[in-house]
Amino acid sequence: MLVTSPVREASGMRQLVGEAGLLNWQAEFRDPALEALFKRSILAHHACQLRLALCLIAGLFLAFAAADYSVLGLGGDFFILLVARLATVAACLAVALAVWRRPGVAHRVLPVNLVSLLCLSVILMTILLRPIHTGIHVASLVVASMALYLFLPNRLPWMLAGNAYLLAGFLTVSLVGSSLPPMLVMTSLLLLLFVNLLGWLTILHLKRLKREQFALLLEERHINRRLKEEIRERKELEARLRYMACTDGLTGVANRRHVFELAGQELRRARRDGTPLSICMVDVDLFKRLNDLHGHAVGDMVLTSVAGCCRSVLRECDILGRYGGEEFVIVLPLADLATAAAVGERLRGCAAGSAAWRCRCWASRPS
Ligand SMILES: Nc1nc2c(ncn2[C@@H]2O[C@H](COP(=O)(O)OP(=O)(O)OP(=O)(O)O)[C@@H](O)[C@H]2O)c(=O)[nH]1
């Protein structure tokens, strides 16, 4: 039998994940069923995280309306931006509410992507309408980029698409809509590319760690289940062995060794308590002839039947065992000689009745 230690198996799993054998380029499990299981296991946490993020983003978008006002005053551009901001806030809160009611929405592609697209578009719109605050715009793009990586960790292709949209939008808005110096645009783009690289690597690392942990957890659960199964099987085997070691295979009563053990205990108890104890020997007469005449199979049947008779006339606390061959021993705690004689008589009657019944069955058999 091959014995593997749980620790070795767990470290084997860790190694497997470490070699990226289980993970694809998105640091997700190659096995779709395993990936789906992992996503189900983190759904509640992910939904909570997304809800918080959406509320935070809604608050930030609303707060930055004050900055719009301070730069643009109460002009047309301000109102255009305000409407865009309010629409974004409403979308964020609507999706947060939907996620709160049904956490499964957090893993749906459309709602979260639509909100992301709206947020990114409003940021780009702000750059277009307030072109003078380049530093703030670049900072807000960096924050938006990181937010995409952090809050949408399980949709890497969409995250990349969102960031590509942000970079392309920034480039277009900077070159077409505003008069930013090309050097500044280039530097900002480089910065954003670096932020993307950083975000990408960080998220890959995080995803990998989480899945590694999950794989180990699964492996540990599997090993625990197997250990429990093994313990149960061993206990069953032990019980079977104990039964076999104490029981006579033919009649099911205690075997000679076990009946001596039990009788010894009862004898000591009777001596200690000063109570009577009787021991009866049961011997089937002419058993050898019965065997010779009818065969051992019939002899076995008779022995089983005698054991059944003994059981039927004894109390729960009495001890019955097979002494050997066609001899049985009965230990009767708290029984004096008269009681033992009565039990013996009952047993003889039962055995005679049973034998007569069997003979009748035998005689009425079709030949
Ligand atoms: N069928 C069967 N026979 C057994 C078993 N164990 C022992 N025997 C047989 O039981 C017989 C016992 O013979 P004896 O000790 O002479 O017993 P008996 O023929 O009843 O003689 P008495 O006790 O003097 O009347 C032997 O023939 C054994 O082979 C068993 O498990 N099954």
Evaluate whether residue 248 is within a structural domain. Answer: no
Residue of 281, 288, 294, 328 with the most ligand 1 atoms within 8 Å of its CB, for mutation? 288
Atom of ligand 1 nearest to the CA of 285: 25
Q: Is 306 exposed, middle or buried (0-12, 13-18, 19+ CB in 10 A)?
A: buried
| Residue 123 pLDDT | 87
363 alpha carbon – ligand 1 mean position (Å): 24
Where does residue 73 fall: left (phi above 0), alpha (psi -120 to 50 degrees), or beta otherwise? left
User: What is the domain range of residue 127?
Assistant: 6-225
Q: How many domains does the chain have?
A: 2
Residues 283 and 337 in one domain: yes
pTM, rounded to two decimals: 0.60
User: Which residue, 202, 225, 248, sits at the end of a domain?
Assistant: 225
Q: Token match 């392309």: residue?
A: 168
Evaluate whether residue 74 is within a structural domain. Answer: yes
In this prediction, does ipTM exceed 0.95?
Answer: no
Q: Pick the closest to residue 167 from 200, 206, 208 (CA basis).
A: 200
SS3 180: coil
Residues 215 and 273 in one domain: no
54 alpha carbon – ligand 1 mean position (Å): 90
303 alpha carbon – ligand 1 mean position (Å): 10
Atom of ligand 1 nearest to the CA of 303: 32
Q: What is the pLDDT along the chain (367 residues), one digit of tens a residue?
A: 334 444 444 444 544 454 446 777 778 888 888 888 898 898 898 899 889 989 989 998 898 888 888 887 888 888 999 999 999 999 999 999 999 999 988 888 888 889 888 998 998 888 888 766 667 777 878 888 787 777 765 577 788 888 888 888 888 887 776 666 778 778 888 888 888 888 888 888 888 898 989 989 999 999 999 999 999 999 999 999 999 999 999 999 999 999 999 999 999 999 999 999 999 999 999 999 999 999 999 999 999 999 999 999 999 899 999 999 999 999 999 999 999 999 999 999 998 887 666 666 655 655 4
Atom of ligand 1 nearest to the CA of 297: 1
Give residues (CB < 6 A) around ligand 1: 250, 283-288, 291, 296, 299-300, 303, 325-326
